[in-house]
Chain A
Amino acid sequence: MKKVYVNEDWCLGCHLCEFTCAAANSGAPDMIKAFAGGKKPVARIQIEEGSAVNFAVQCRHCELHPCVKGCISGALSVKDGVIVCDEERCVGCYTCVLSCPYGAIVIDGAGHKIRKCDLCTQNSQGEPACVKACPNNAIVFEER
């Protein structure tokens, strides 16, 4: 299955992936509107910044998926290999946050819900927005 991979040798820590991800999943037609009026849509990809190394982390869509197995509401499920969250069913218990070994489940504090990468399968992006946004090809969408 094609997944998103991040090559830390090329990640600049510019955070463009985060903002693009947040906008792409906000339902707004463009980035300006997504953030208009101080709105802070949540990104499903997170940059870790170090002194010399940066990289982005998002759902690995791993085969063990302890998040899905531990989900108390059944909001998380695997669809064609992609781990998706039915945000309507999520109650914000954060058991998935407890379970994910990558720390890839993002907490949307405002809504007391979780958000996670679904490889842009549930928005209108076509392919993962973070990959398109990365200025340095540090994020790729490929089969491995």
Chain B
Amino acid sequence: MNYVIIGNAAAAVGTIEGIREVDKTGKITVISEENYHTYSRPLISYWLMGKVTDKNIYYRSPDFYEKNGVETMFGCRAVKIDTASKSVVLSDGNTIPYDKLMVATGSKPFVPPMNGMEKIASCHTFMSYDSVKAIRSEITEGSKVLIIGAGLIGLKAAEALNEYKADITVVDMADRILPSILDVRAGSIMQKHIESKGTKFILGTSVDEFSEHSAKLKNGATVDFDMVIIAVGVRPNTELVADAGGKVERGIICDLTQKTSLDDVYAAGDCTVSHDASSDTDKILALLPNAYMQGEVAGRNMAGVETRYVNAIPMNAIGFFGLHIITAGSYDGEEYVEENGNNYKKLVFKDGLLKGYILMGDVKRAGIYTSMIKERIDLKDVDMEMLKDRPQMMMFGKARREEKLGGIFR
């Protein structure tokens, strides 16, 4: 069997490990535009902070490809999938034949057209090892940085640059931060926390026009900068599949085995559309765990063992300046909220199930809540007071505890 993987991040690694769970010998080729051993994209901010070394940014050990019998083609760009001849065409014109193909192309930063952008002296995105290396080479103590976008990426960039004592301003069109994962209240607690560390926010407005070292905002204010970081969002890399005639909506459409609408072509990770089991809707779940697990499922299917990827839900674990957030599921339903200083808890119930939660500050044992959402555990079977108090196994009945924890020996 000849497996070809386009991409080299979490979904690709998941695919390799998924294939190798089943097929120890088939040929695997990884095609990657980036010229790096597989590295963890979320670690780039930690690298920039100096919390992760060059050695530790890698997602797998240096002998990963060798151990798994993977041939790598780094610095190669795939430009076309030829489903008729079952081959991938590279930018240099070479073709790589496949029996099973994985498209794990991820996403790219979305850079909206803005007036005067071309004049900006130093403009970056925040998505790749190369991008943070470029930022690192330019940043100096006291640099003025304008970050466009108060989402996960923009704020991770802010946290990292704070290590350089940069003067940071974050501008976002929305009137609150982290709208994708936090509600209004939690967003405001986090905003205050980040502000207390020195980062400034200008919300509810956007850039009217850039000049070389300053931006005029639509609300009339002007922000001077030495560097701009654009972090307004990402777009899935779906072109290869779309061009080959595969079904693509907001991302690549896959079935539960992660196969695309094209024969023998699979996809996983940020370039695909997932089914959110908590809200029963289709959406892009651009999360590393999701990417890995989709990749692993795809790998097993590619190697001939039918496996389904179910129970995916949106979830995030992230922290800014030492204040941690864990969230999961969807927020449509009856709410239970507790707040105490920087500790914030919101539980969302609907149809007799826990549907989603936000934990900020005290995030201990959040996974117990996550499992309740994923496994759709009936609230009738748990002690609600304990559930509200904190995540704990005690809230389940004895039978379920025994099943989960290994049970009584007798």
CB contact list, A57-107 vs B, under 8 A: 57, 60, 66, 69-70, 72-74, 88-89, 91-103, 105, 107
Segment of B198-206, B227-235, B347-355, B365-373 in the binding face: B365-373
Closest to B386 in A: A50
Whether A94 contacts B404 in the complex (CB less than 8 A), given A72-B288, A74-B59, comes out as no
Binary CB contact string for chain B from 392 to 410 against chain A (1 if under 8 A, 0 otherwise):
1110001001001111110
B contacts, CB < 8 Å to A? 14, 40, 42-43, 46, 51-52, 56, 58-61, 288-289, 292-293, 296, 315-319, 322, 324, 326, 328, 363-368, 370-371, 374-375, 391-394, 398, 401, 404-409
Q: Does A16 contact B (CB under 8 A)?
A: no
Q: Is there an interface contact between B317 and A95, defined as CB atoms closer than 8 Å? A: yes
Q: Does A144 contact B (CB under 8 A)?
A: yes
Q: Is there an interface contact between B405 and A48, defined as CB atoms closer than 8 Å? A: no
Mostly, the A contact residues are: loop
A143 to chain B, nearest CB (A): 11
Q: Is there an interface contact between B319 and A60, defined as CB atoms closer than 8 Å? A: no
Residues of A within 8 A of B60 (CB): 74
Whether A98 contacts B401 in the complex (CB less than 8 A), given A7-B409, A74-B58, comes out as no
Closest to A93 in B: B317
Residues of A within 8 A of B292 (CB): 69-70
Q: Which of B315, B317, B393, B408 contacts A102 (CB 8 A)?
A: B393
Q: Is there an interface contact between B367 and A5, defined as CB atoms closer than 8 Å? A: no
Mostly, the B contact residues are: mixed
Q: How far is the CA of A66 from the CA of B289 in the complex (A)?
A: 8
Residues of B within 8 A of A107 (CB): 363-364
Closest to B49 in A: A91
Closest to A88 in B: B56
Q: Does A133 contact B (CB under 8 A)?
A: no
Q: Is there an interface contact between B370 and A5, defined as CB atoms closer than 8 Å? A: no
Q: How far is the CA of A7 from the CA of B319 in the complex (A)?
A: 36
CB contact list, A1-36 vs B, under 8 A: 3, 5-9
Whether A69 contacts B392 in the complex (CB less than 8 A), given A74-B60, A103-B368, comes out as no
Most buried by A among B368, B393, B405: B405
Most buried by A among B43, B318, B328, B406: B406
25 contacts between A and B (CB under 8 A): A5-B405, A5-B407, A6-B406, A8-B408, A48-B393, A55-B401, A69-B293, A72-B42, A72-B288, A73-B40, A73-B59, A74-B61, A89-B56, A91-B52, A93-B42, A94-B319, A94-B366, A98-B315, A98-B317, A98-B370, A99-B289, A101-B404, A102-B367, A103-B392, A140-B409
Whether A102 contacts B398 in the complex (CB less than 8 A), given A5-B406, A9-B408, A69-B289, comes out as no
Q: How far is the CA of A101 from the CA of B296 in the complex (A)?
A: 20
Q: Is there an interface contact between B51 and A101, defined as CB atoms closer than 8 Å? A: no
Whether A97 contacts B326 in the complex (CB less than 8 A), given A6-B406, A48-B394, comes out as yes
Q: Is there an interface contact between A50 and B409, defined as CB atoms closer than 8 Å? A: no
CB contact list, A106-144 vs B, under 8 A: 107, 112, 140, 142, 144
Whether A93 contacts B319 in the complex (CB less than 8 A), given A55-B401, A73-B43, comes out as yes
Whether A144 contacts B406 in the complex (CB less than 8 A), given A91-B46, A97-B364, comes out as yes
